[in-house]
A and B are shown apart, each in its own frame.
Chain A
Amino acid sequence: GAVVSQHPSRVICKSGTSVKIECRSLDFQATTMFWYRQFPKQSLMLMATSNEGSKATYEQGVEKDKFLINHASLTLSTLTVTSAHPEDSSFYICSAREGYRQGLNTEAFFGQGTRLTVV
């Protein structure tokens, strides 16, 4: 299957600083990427849909000024957690789907996830 690479896999930052997480589709073009957040022993909650060349669409309750998403190319989307606080500590996972232009029935591929700890 297609490969989605997410970096870093683990990051610890001080409260008040910003952290950038990268999501790359390595062998396919992804017009749309998705960012999820996962709390311990809970499901993945969709945060936002990242569209190449346009503004991201955020889910209700997700602060767009805090979670900045940039999708500047067909293979890269970034999520920046600004002014991080301990409650932002979580596991963040990106997802991309290939074949967007060709069809709708392809599965999504996921990055390895990023464990963010804000101290």
Chain B
Amino acid sequence: AQSVAQPEDQVNVAEGNPLTVKCTYSVSGNPYLFWYVQYPNRGLQFLLKYITGDNLVKGSYGFEAEFNKSQTSFHLKKPSALVSDSALYFCAVRDSKAGTALIFGKGTTLSVSS
């Protein structure tokens, strides 16, 4: 069975500092990994994905994530946080079978202070 763990309920950083939101996964076979962001009472916006290739994936709004197979991790990072980055972030995984749904982590609230 697939699963995703986001060990932190909340991450607090000061504006301009680097941020990391952690994610580890468990899936049989090759994982397809995703990060989404959610603003209050809104749907999810896609940030980035890892399917294959380079372990460092660059996405929207300056975010990037590094796939680490040995540690089964896919941490989300940004070199310099903005107050507008404050939101709820979800890591998700699915396996390589056609038509399968995303399985989400519990989410991490990112709070960026000015």
Interfacial residues, chain A to chain B (CB-CB below 8 A) = 1, 4, 6, 31-32, 34, 36, 41-44, 46, 49, 51, 91, 93, 95, 100, 104-105, 107-113, 115
Contact = CB atoms under 8 A, between A and B. Distances in A.
What are the 8 A-B residue pairs with the smallest beta carbon separation, nearest first?
A110-B43, A110-B44, A105-B51, A43-B106, A112-B43, A34-B101, A113-B43, A44-B104
- What DSSP secondary structure best describes chain A's contact surface? strand
Given A107-B34, A107-B46, A113 B107 contact: no
- By CB atoms of chain A within 10 A, which of B32, B42, B43, B51 has the most? B43
Interface residues of B, number: 24
Given A42-B107, A112-B43, A115-B41, A107 B101 contact: no
B interface: dominant SS: loop
B99 A110 contact: no
B74 to A, nearest CB: 14
B89 to A, nearest CB: 11
A110 B38 CA distance: 10
A46 B103 contact: yes
Contacts of B104: 36, 43-44
